[in-house]
Amino acid sequence: MRLRPVETRDIGWLVAMAGDPVLIGEHNWPGSAVDADERTREMTARLDADGMIGEWKGTMVVELGDGTPIGDVSWRSEKWGPSEKSRCLAFGIALLPQHRGKGHGTEAQRLLVGHLFSRTSTHRIQTDTAVDNPAEQRALEKIGMVREGVIRQAEYRNGQYHDHVLYSILRSEWSG
Ligand SMILES: CC(C)(COP(=O)(O)OP(=O)(O)OC[C@H]1O[C@@H](n2cnc3c(N)ncnc32)[C@H](O)[C@@H]1OP(=O)(O)O)[C@@H](O)C(=O)NCCC(=O)NCCS
């Protein structure tokens, strides 16, 4: 498996995935789809700007060894206080349904954390997931992320608030 940059040929399936609750997964589904044309324009613009790989915001394709794309990972900046040193990276993942439950999500997130610690200066990497998403919680624990606690009614998604679990790993804890 590898993480590779998004290419123009990926935009179609990435947009389709984001617009379908089954493909993106119930825990990533906001409740309604963003307009596909608008999302295509936005992704094309990001691809033209920086290949969708920046220090504080990016998206990469998860690809199997035989070249099959199976989903994507993305990251963004979050900040806990006014100092620039309070900035950290947060990430997300979505695998297509037929590729879940085979260890790929664990491996992809291990690769992503390694990529982000090696290519950025971030001190801390975090992510959060719904309390009723055991596959993601287990995958995060398997790569050494520390469960920090429950953020009550953190995400408004699909018509209601959902409790999330916050996970993190510090640069000093990452062993690759
Ligand atoms: C969440 C996701 C990334 C996990 O990746 P995955 O490839 O399916 O998970 P893995 O096969 O690596 O399994 C990780 C662990 O979770 C367990 N697991 C997998 N599916 C599970 C399920 N439905 N319920 C409970 N545990 C589950 C596995 O057994 C494994 O633990 P183990 O090694 O101790 O047995 C993937 O399922 C996915 O993309 N889901 C849809 C989108 C999503 O929910 N993204 C996260 C939103 S924050």
169 in a structural domain:
no
Q: What is the pLDDT of residue 174?
A: 96
Cβ-contact 3, 73 below 8 angstroms: yes
DSSP string, 91-106: EEEEE-GGGTTSSHHH
- The residue range of the domain holding 99 is 2-127
pTM value? 0.97
62 in a structural domain:
yes
DSSP string, 106-122: HHHHHHHHHHHHHHS--
164 in a structural domain:
no
List of the chain residues with pLDDT < 70: none
Query: 30: domain CATH number?
Result: 3.40.630.30
Indicate whether residue 126 lines ligand 1 (CB < 6 A). Answer: no
144 in a structural domain:
no
Indicate whether residue 135 lines ligand 1 (CB < 6 A). Answer: yes
152 in a structural domain:
no
135 in a structural domain:
no
Indicate whether residue 74 lines ligand 1 (CB < 6 A). Answer: no
From the alpha carbon of 101, which atom of ligand 1 is closest?
11
Q: What is the pLDDT of residue 176?
A: 75
pLDDT tens, position by position, 48-98: 999 999 999 999 999 999 999 999 999 999 999 999 999 999 999 999 999
47 in a structural domain:
yes
As for how many domains the chain has, the answer is 1
Q: What is the pLDDT of residue 71?
A: 98
Q: What is the pLDDT of residue 21?
A: 96
Token pair, residue 134, equals 């055991």
